[in-house]
Chain A
Amino acid sequence: MQLTSTQSIASALALASCSLIGQTQAAETVPANDDWKVDAAIMYYGEQDRVQAAEAIGNVQKAFGDSSLLDLKIVVDSLTGASASGAVAQAQSQTFTRPSGKGEYTVKAGDTPLDDTFHDTRVQLSANWQEILNQDWTTNVGMYASKEFDYLSMGLNAGVERSFNKNNTTIALSGAFTNDVVDPVGGRPVALSEMVFSADYNSDAEYQAAFDQTRLNGDDTKQTTDVMIGVTQILNRNWLMQANYGLSSVSGYMTDPYKILSEVDLNGLTQGYRYENRPDSRLKHSVFLMTKGALDSGVVDFSYRYSTDDWDITSHTLETHYRYYFSPSFYGQLHLRYYQQQAAEFYQPFLMVGDALPEYASADYRIGDMTAYTIGLKFGQRLSGGHEMTYRLEYYQQNPDSNGTEIPGQLQNYDLFPSVKAIVAQVSYSF
C-alpha cells in the first residue's frame, strides 16, 4: 500500500511538473514581477442611417504585493446621428418640434421618423480595489461616475468572495447602489402631453408659453440597487461553470424624455404626437449560466441568461465565444449571440385617437418585442514582452416585432418595425 501511495504521489508530481513546463509559454506573456497591466481599446459602433458612436476605453491595473489590486478605468464616448423617436411613418412628410423646443425637423413621406438631434459626449471613470484577505476570502470595493450633457450617474459597489472545497468552489456576493440625475434638453416632458408646433401660434412668446406647458421644471433622479449572488465551480480539469442570480431594483425617472408616440385615427392618419411615460419603479431578476472550457488549441464558452421584470419584459440570451490558436501567438475567435425579448406591458406602437389615455405608454422599440443577433470575429496577436494586439469586427442586427396590436388603415403600407443593422469595429492593445 505504501508503495502504491508513493507511486501515486510521484506520478502526480511528474504530472504537475509537466503542467508547469507546459505553462512556460503562457507565463512569459505575463511576467510575474510586472505589477502593472494596461488594456486600451478604441471602438466604432455604426448603425445604418442611424446612430454612430466612437468609444475609447482604458484600464490600468496595479498590483500591490500579492494581495491587493487596484483597477482604474476611463471611458470616453461620443455619439451622433439619428435615433427612432417612436412616431410611425406616414404617406405625407412629418414635422416634429425638437426636444429643446427650439426648431423643428422634418421626416420624408414613408420614412420611419428618426430624431437627428443627438450629439453627446460621455466620460466615465471607475475605480475598484480588490483585497485578498486570506486563502478563502476576497473582498472588493469600487466607485463609478459617468457624465454626459443631460445625465449624471454615480455609484458605489462592494463584494465578497468565499472559496472552499480546495478552491474548486467560489461563492460571490456583491451589491451596488447608483444614483442618476436626469436633466433633459428642453426639460422633462409632462407625461403624455401633446407636442406643440410654432406654426400653430401667432407669436414666439405664445408658442414658448404653450411649449413650457408641456415641460416640468428642474431635473429628476433615479436610484438603482443591485444585488448579485454567484457560484463558480470547477467541474473537471478543463471545464468550469458559473451561475449568477441578480436582483435589481430601480426607482425614479425612467421615462425616455426624447421618445414620443403618434396618435392615429382609424385610417392610420396621424393626428398628433404625445410624449411617452414609463412607471417610476422597476424590479428586475436575472439568472446567468455559463460554462467555459480549456481546449487543446483554444477556449470555448457558452452562456444563457434569463431576465424578467415587473414591466413584463422577459428576455432570453444565448451566447458563445470560441477561440482557436493558429499558433502560440496568434488566434482567431468567433462570437455568436442570440437575443429574444418580450415587450413591456405598456409598450404600444402608437396611440388611437378617441381611446382613453393610458397611465403609461411608450413606443420605444427597445422595450417592444424583438429578436437580435450578433456575429463577430476577433483576431489576436501576441507580441514580444507580453504585449497583445487584437482586432474585432461584429455585425449586430435587431429585428423588432409587432406585439399583436391591430394596424389601422394606411399604416399597413409601412414597415412599423424596421430592422436596425449595426457594425462594431474595435482595436485593442494590452501590455
Chain B
Amino acid sequence: MSNVLYKPLIKTALALAIASSLLGCSSLGVQPWEKDQFAREDMALNSEKLDLALDDHIYFSKEGTSGGRSLAGGGCGCN
C-alpha cells in the first residue's frame, strides 16, 4: 500500500530534479577556450577504461547489484 502512495511522489520528485538540473545547466559551463583542463587525457570519463571494466567484472560477480556508471555490458555466469 505504501508503495502505491510513494511511487507517484518519487516520480514527481525525480522529474523535478531532472528538469531543474537541466534548466540549471544552461547557466553552467565555460567558454570553448577555457576547456584546456578537459582536454587532458586523465580527465576523460573513460580514461581508465580497462581498470573500470575489470572492477565491474569483479563487483558484478561478487555483489548483488551492478552497473550504474555505464551499461552493464553483458552477462557471464561468474561465480
Chain A window 42-62, contacts with chain B (Cβ cutoff 8 Å), 1 for yes, 0 for no: 010100000100010101000
Contacts of B54 in A (CB 8 A): 41, 43, 55, 57, 424, 426
List the A side residues contacting B21 at CB < 8 Å. 231, 233, 243
Tell me if A16 counts as interface (CB < 8 A to partner B): yes
Contact A168 B28 (CB under 8 A): yes
Q: Which stretch from A18-26, A188-196, A202-210 is at the chain B interface?
A: A18-26
Chain B nearest CB, measured from A309 CB (Å) = 7
From 1 to 49 in chain B, residues with beta carbon under 8 angstroms from any chain A beta carbon are 14, 21-22, 25-26, 28-43, 45, 48-49
Q: Indicate if the CB atoms of B77 and A55 lie closer than 8 Å.
A: no
Tell whether A281 is near chain B: CB-to-CB under 8 Å.
no
Binary CB contact string for chain B from 56 to 77 against chain A (1 if under 8 A, 0 otherwise): 0111001111011111111111
| Cα–Cα, bound, A378→B50 (Å) | 13
Given A23-B36, A148-B77, A426-B54, A366 and B64 contact (CB-CB distance below 8 Å): yes
B71 near A228 with CB under 8 A, answer: yes
Point out the residue from B49, B51, B58, B65 that lies within 8 Å of A284, measured CB to CB.
B65
Residues in A with CB closer than 8 Å to B79 are: 51, 79, 83, 118, 120, 256, 258
Q: Which residues of chain A have C-beta atoms less than 8 A from B67's C-beta? A: 226, 246, 248, 284, 286, 307
- A15 is an interface residue with CB less than 8 A from chain B: yes
Which chain B residue shows the least CB distance to A182? B77
Tally inter-chain residue pairs, CB-CB below 8 A: 208
Cβ contact within 8 Å between A341 and B71: no
State in angstroms the CA–CA spacing of A232 and B59 once bound together: 24
Residue numbers in A under 8 Å from B71 (CB-CB): 157, 174-176, 226, 228, 246
> How far does the alpha carbon of A77 sit from the alpha carbon of B64 in the complex, in Å?
21
Give the shortest distance, in Å, between B6 (CB) and chain A (any CB): 12
Tell whether, in the assembled complex, residue A240 and residue B64 are in contact, meaning their CB atoms are under 8 Å apart.
Answer: no
* CB pair A240 B32 closer than 8 Å: no
How distant is the Cα of A55 from the Cα of B50 in the complex, in angstroms? 11
CB distance from B70 to the nearest CB of A (A): 7
A16, B74: Cβ atoms under 8 Å?
no
Interface string of A28-47 (1 = CB under 8 A from B): 01100000000111010100
**In the complex where A57-B54, A228-B70 touch, is A146 in contact with B33 (Cβ < 8 A)?**
no
Q: Which residues of B contact A307 (CB under 8 A)?
A: 65, 67-68
Nearest-neighbor residue (CB-CB) of A339 within chain B: B63
A251 at the interface (CB under 8 A from B): no
Contact A126 B74 (CB under 8 A): yes
Q: How far is the CA of A367 from the CA of B65 in the complex (A)?
A: 8
Contact in complex: B25, A233 (CB < 8 Å)? yes
Q: Is the CB of A169 within 8 A of B25?
A: yes
Question: Chain B residues with Cβ under 8 A from A266's Cβ?
Answer: none
User: A39, A154, A233, A237: which contacts B49 (Cβ < 8 A)?
Assistant: A39
A162 contacts chain B at the CB level, 8 A cutoff: no
Nearest CB in chain B: distance from A124 CB, A: 7
Cβ 8 A contact of B65, one of A57, A236, A313: A313
Bound-state CA distance A243–B42 (Å) is 19
A13 and B34 alpha carbons, distance in the complex (Å): 10
Q: Kindly list the 9 A-B residue pairs having the minimum CB-CB distance in the complex, ordered from nearest.
A: A168-B29, A151-B77, A19-B36, A294-B37, A288-B68, A307-B65, A16-B33, A305-B68, A286-B68
Besides A79-B79, A155-B74, 11 more A-B contacts (Cβ < 8 Å) are: A12-B31, A15-B34, A146-B76, A165-B25, A236-B28, A244-B70, A245-B14, A286-B65, A286-B67, A305-B68, A323-B42
29 A-B pairs (CB sep. < 8 Å): A23-B40, A39-B49, A57-B50, A57-B54, A75-B57, A118-B79, A144-B73, A144-B74, A146-B76, A148-B76, A151-B77, A155-B75, A157-B73, A166-B29, A168-B29, A174-B71, A180-B75, A228-B71, A243-B21, A246-B67, A284-B65, A294-B42, A299-B40, A305-B68, A307-B68, A313-B65, A315-B63, A339-B63, A424-B58
